[in-house]
A = this chain, B = another copy of it.
Amino acid sequence: MKCTRCRSRAEVYLRQHNSGFCRRCFVVYFHRQVTRAIEHERMFTTEEDVLVAVSGGKDSLALWDTLHELGYRTTGLHLSLGIGAYSDHSTEKTKRFAETRDLPLITVPLAEEENGLAVPAVAAFTHRPACSACGVLKRHYFDRLALDRGFPVLATGHNLDDEAARLLGNVLRWQTDHLARQHPVLPPTHERFVRKVKPLFRVTEYETAVYAFFRGIDYVIEECPNSVGASQLLYKEVLNRLETTSPGTKLTFLQEFLNKGRPAFAEGEPVPPQPCESCGMPAYGHVCSYCKLVREVETKRERTRRHA
């Protein structure tokens, strides 16, 4: 098979686009998909400082690499979650990526923060599933650091597979409030929130893996030992099954949702958040999810100490 762009030997074939690419042209294709997402959805401009959430995995590093290559002004934000060797490796890969490209990186080791909230400790103290605790912590630190450091926009590495799986989960239960909020660009609903964007929403997990490989990006290959929710993995598997028979299913599913499905659910103004009584960040109750979590942990720690 020949490269669709330059007619040299193709190294990768994308069935959903009926196109083959050599290494060089695949990178061009990938950058174009991301550019299209950024420009078409008005995610940010080259004049804005973009905070990129980087875990050290292929998606977030492929994102950071792409944004840097395309000339955007980026700073990495890495949370060291405290999940044993997995987190150590992730932090190491992220730091090395930033150093070799001379890119600014903010690293936050959660265990060393004021409340010492590494993911395993929080999960153990609250008996919440680790992924749920991790989500609350990430959202809080992303929001707070973006605000504190004056970034107008936060970019995450969610790819097409992530977004299509999330959409399928929302649709299987017809969670209309979640459907109304699912979009690759979420404008801030409060002055203390920043815009959140997903520039990789048009490229598949396979494509980000190929990109990382072709670009020689050294990323953490091991999955988080807490693993993603089983249902998310099942939804991805099912969508891949549909994609195999009908290439383009995932992109159509997400794109047509954005064009025709979501508008039906997103009518009316969303309820604006109110300042959290405890930390002042925007919250949908008296206290934000993060502060609720902190309180839970503190109560349990106190009890454990008294019983010791």
Q: Which residues of A contact B (CB under 8 A)?
A: 171-174, 176, 230-231, 234, 237-238, 241-242, 245-246, 249, 252-253, 256-257, 259-261, 264-265
State the CA gap A253–B174 with chains docked (Å).
7
On whether the beta carbons of A242 and B176 are closer than 8 Å, the reply is no
* Protomer copies: 2
A245 to chain B, nearest CB (A): 6
On whether the beta carbons of A234 and B238 are closer than 8 Å, the reply is no
Of the listed residues A174, A238, A259, the one surrounded by the most CB atoms of chain B closer than 10 A to its CB is A174
A95 to chain B, nearest CB (A): 38
State the CA gap A242–B174 with chains docked (Å).
15
On whether the beta carbons of B176 and A253 are closer than 8 Å, the reply is no
State the CA gap A261–B257 with chains docked (Å).
13
On whether the beta carbons of A231 and B259 are closer than 8 Å, the reply is no
On whether the beta carbons of B264 and A172 are closer than 8 Å, the reply is no
State the CA gap A176–B249 with chains docked (Å).
17
Partner of A249, one of B172, B249, B261: B172
State the CA gap A217–B241 with chains docked (Å).
35
State the CA gap A18–B287 with chains docked (Å).
38
Q: Which residues of B contact A257 (CB under 8 A)?
A: 174
A183 to chain B, nearest CB (A): 14
A202 to chain B, nearest CB (A): 16
State the CA gap A120–B82 with chains docked (Å).
66
Take A171-B171, A241-B238, A242-B238 as given contacts and tell me if A176 and B261 are in contact as well, using a CB distance cutoff of 8 Å: yes
A-B complex: 10 closest residue pairs judged by Cβ atoms? A174-B256, A264-B264, A174-B261, A174-B260, A238-B238, A172-B253, A176-B260, A174-B257, A264-B265, A171-B171
On whether the beta carbons of A246 and B231 are closer than 8 Å, the reply is yes
On whether the beta carbons of A245 and B256 are closer than 8 Å, the reply is no
Q: Which residues of B contact A259 (CB under 8 A)?
A: 174
Q: Which residues of B contact A256 (CB under 8 A)?
A: 173-174
On whether the beta carbons of B238 and A176 are closer than 8 Å, the reply is no
Q: Which residues of B contact A173 (CB under 8 A)?
A: 252-253, 256
On whether the beta carbons of A252 and B176 are closer than 8 Å, the reply is no
Q: Which residues of B contact A171 (CB under 8 A)?
A: 171, 253, 261
Query: 26 A–B contact pairs at CB < 8 A?
Result: A171-B261, A172-B242, A172-B249, A172-B252, A173-B252, A173-B253, A173-B256, A174-B253, A174-B256, A174-B257, A174-B259, A174-B260, A174-B261, A176-B260, A176-B261, A176-B264, A230-B245, A231-B245, A231-B246, A234-B245, A237-B241, A238-B241, A238-B242, A241-B241, A264-B264, A264-B265
